[in-house]
Amino acid sequence: MKTKLQQELEIYLASKTHFPPYYQSMKHILSSTLFQQQLHEIMNALEQEDSNGAKSFKLYLDTVIINMESKIAKYKPSVYFEGEKVKEIENQGYIIPFYSDETQETYVLLGIYKKNDQS
> Which stretches of 67-109 are DSSP H helices?
none
The contacts of residue 58 (CB under 8 Å, 6+ apart) are 43
pLDDT at 94 over 60: yes
Confidence of residue 7 (pLDDT cuts 50, 70, 90): very high
Burial class (CB in 10 A: 0-12, 13-18, 19+), 54: middle
Confidence (pLDDT) at 42: 95
* CA nearest to 4, candidates 114, 112, 116, 115: 112
109 touches 65 (CB < 8 A)? yes
pLDDT recorded at residue 82: 87
Please give the model's pTM, rounded to 2 decimal places: 0.90
Q: What is the DSSP letter of 21?
A: B
Higher pLDDT, 116 or 74: 74
Single-letter residue type at 48: Q
Across-strand partners of 76?
88
- pLDDT tens digits for range 38-87: 999 999 999 999 989 899 999 999 999 999 988 888 999 998 898 889 99
Residues forming beta bridges with residue 109, ordered by sequence position: 31, 98
CATH superfamily of 2-114: RelE-like (3.30.2310.20)
In the chain, domain spans: 2-114
Average pLDDT, the chain: 90
